[in-house]
């Protein structure tokens, strides 16, 4: 079979499959068609990723295998375009036959089923001597695909890590350059401000209306001295940094040589030393735990004694306050005692006087007392009679006054 016959047969098969698919799509709803479109997009995305991974793997392992793949892809595109033209002619004939394009131009008619499309697969091809030969080719199972994806992912991660390290170095370099430029800008601004202040503002001669050359020369001389001193400091710092860099470089070289000369015995020795150090660390940790326990007990005892001491201090404070109150009360009692003593002395003196009066007092005779008492009773009776007479006279006077008043009226 010639190549042109192969094209015709393939185109006729694809056109027949497309026609059968269009006939099957009449029975699907719009929701099913939308779902089919989404599934097709997802499958296309997955197939694109697989193709990309396969292409990366082939280019990495054997780039010569990719020769002629582009021609095969171009041939497949041409084959697909010819099949689409055949399907279009068939659709036109069917629409002219049934009298319209409405039934075929709707979204539910123009979409294809993924189950049908999956059967329409472009077979693998390879270019040999300018001709394209179709064949089934080897299949790749899921495990091999997973291994290919893992290998490509590891390579991508490694490349990303290299790019990240390179970007970090570039970022550090740019950051250092920016810091250096910032320092230079600050120095230039300081120098400009100092120049404006010392030469332009303070060095201006109002009489001559100019800046004297001596001020300019003195400023430049001082500035050169300052620059020389800074250059000397920077040279010293640079030499120190170079020395440190050489030292670190030598240490790195020695470590690299030692790492090359290391053997398994050195690692075993280092492991034994690490084990011994770990045992010592465990012992120290145990001792530290015991010390922590002892410290906790000591802190507990200290807290108890501190609490007791606080109680004793409170009791002592109460006692001191009580002593002060008692002393204050004692002073007040002493004062009251002095006052009472004075009163007692005065009362004692009065008692002595009363005693003296009592000793000097003589009791009168009883008959004299009776006579005096009778006389007092008689006088009281006479006073009472006189009071009654006065009262009667006042009543009579009042009645006479009333009568006189009535007579006058």
Query: What are the distances in angstroms from CA 24 to CA 18, 29, 101, 176?
Result: 10, 11, 17, 69
Structure tokens at 271: 């492991």
Top-confidence range, 25-39, 93-107, 153-167: 153-167
Q: What is the mean pLDDT of residues 132-145?
A: 60
The C-alpha atoms of residue 211 and residue 213 are separated, in whole angstroms, by 7
Statement to judge: residues 15 and 135 lie in one domain: yes
The H-or-E segment that residue 132 falls in is strand 131-135
Sequential DSSP letters for 147-178: HHHHHHHHHHHHHHHHHHHHHHHHHHHHHHHH
Statement to judge: residues 134 and 185 lie in one domain: no
In this predicted structure, what is the pLDDT of residue 113?
Answer: 36
Statement to judge: residues 187 and 122 lie in one domain: no
Statement to judge: residues 18 and 121 lie in one domain: yes
Statement to judge: residues 74 and 131 lie in one domain: yes
Statement to judge: residues 303 and 188 lie in one domain: no
The C-alpha atoms of residue 22 and residue 94 are separated, in whole angstroms, by 11
The C-alpha atoms of residue 404 and residue 409 are separated, in whole angstroms, by 9
End residue of a domain, out of 173, 202, 231: 202
Statement to judge: residues 84 and 160 lie in one domain: no
Structure tokens at 198: 């010392």
Statement to judge: residues 47 and 129 lie in one domain: yes
> By residue range, what is the domain housing residue 66?
3-139
Task: Name the domain count of the chain.
Answer: 4
End residue of a domain, out of 172, 202, 232: 202
Q: Does position 252 have pLDDT exceeding 50, yes or no?
A: yes
Statement to judge: residues 93 and 186 lie in one domain: no
pTM, entire model: 0.36
Statement to judge: residues 319 and 375 lie in one domain: no
Statement to judge: residues 371 and 320 lie in one domain: no
Q: What is the mean pLDDT of residues 347-371?
A: 83
* Range in 41-50, 67-76, 157-166, 341-350 with the lowest mean pLDDT: 67-76
CA geometry: angle 267, 273, 277, nearest 5 deg: 140
Q: Is residue 243 part of a domain?
A: no
Statement to judge: residues 25 and 99 lie in one domain: yes
């Amino acid at each position: 079979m010639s190549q042109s016959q192969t094209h015709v047969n393939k185109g006729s098969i694809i056109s027949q499959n497309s026609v059968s698919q269009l006939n099957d799509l009449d029975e699907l709803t719009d929701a099913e068609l939308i779902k089919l479109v989404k599934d097709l997009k997802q499958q296309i995305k997955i197939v694109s990723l697989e193709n990309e991974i396969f292409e990366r793997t082939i280019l990495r392992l054997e780039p010569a295998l990719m020769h002629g793949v582009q021609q095969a892809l171009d041939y497949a595109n041409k084959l697909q375009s010819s099949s689409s033209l055949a399907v279009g002619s068939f659709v036109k004939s069917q629409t002219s036959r049934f009298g319209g394009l409405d039934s075929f131009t709707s979204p539910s008619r123009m979409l294809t089923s993924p189950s049908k499309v999956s059967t329409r697969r472009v077979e693998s091809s390879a270019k040999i001597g300018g001709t394209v030969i179709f064949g089934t080719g080897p299949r790749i199972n899921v495990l091999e695909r997973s291994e290919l994806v893992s290998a490509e992912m590891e390579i991508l991660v490694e490349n990303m890590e290299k790019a990240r390290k390179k970007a970090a170095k570039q970022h550090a370099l740019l950051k250092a350059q920016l810091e250096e430029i910032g320092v230079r800008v600050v120095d230039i601004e300081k120098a400009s401000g100092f120049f404006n202040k010392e030469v332009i503002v303070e060095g201006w001669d109002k009489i001559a209306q100019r800046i004297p050359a001596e001020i300019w020369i003195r400023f430049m001389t001082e500035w050169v001295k300052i620059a020389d001193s800074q250059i000397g400091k920077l040279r010293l710092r640079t030499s120190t940094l170079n020395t440190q860099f050489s030292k670190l470089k030598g240490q790195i070289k020695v470590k690299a040589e030692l790492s090359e000369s290391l053997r398994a015995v050195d690692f075993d020795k280092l492991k034994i030393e690490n084990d011994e150090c770990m045992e010592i660390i465990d012992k120290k940790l145990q001792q530290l735990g015991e010390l922590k326990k002892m410290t906790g007990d000591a802190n507990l005892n200290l807290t108890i004694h501190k609490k007791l001491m606080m109680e004793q201090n409170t009791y002592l404070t109460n006692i001191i306050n009580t002593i002060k109150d008692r002393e204050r009360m004692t002073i007040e009692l002493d004062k009251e005692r002095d006052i009472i003593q004075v009163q007692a002395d005065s009362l004692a003196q009065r008692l002595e006087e009363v005693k003296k009066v009592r000793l000097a007092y003589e009791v009168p005779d009883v008959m004299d007392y009776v006579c005096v008492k009778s006389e007092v009773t008689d006088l009281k009776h006479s006073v009472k009679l006189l009071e009654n007479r006065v009262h009667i006279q006042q009543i009579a006077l009042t009645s006479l006054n009333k009568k006189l008043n009535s007579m006058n009226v």
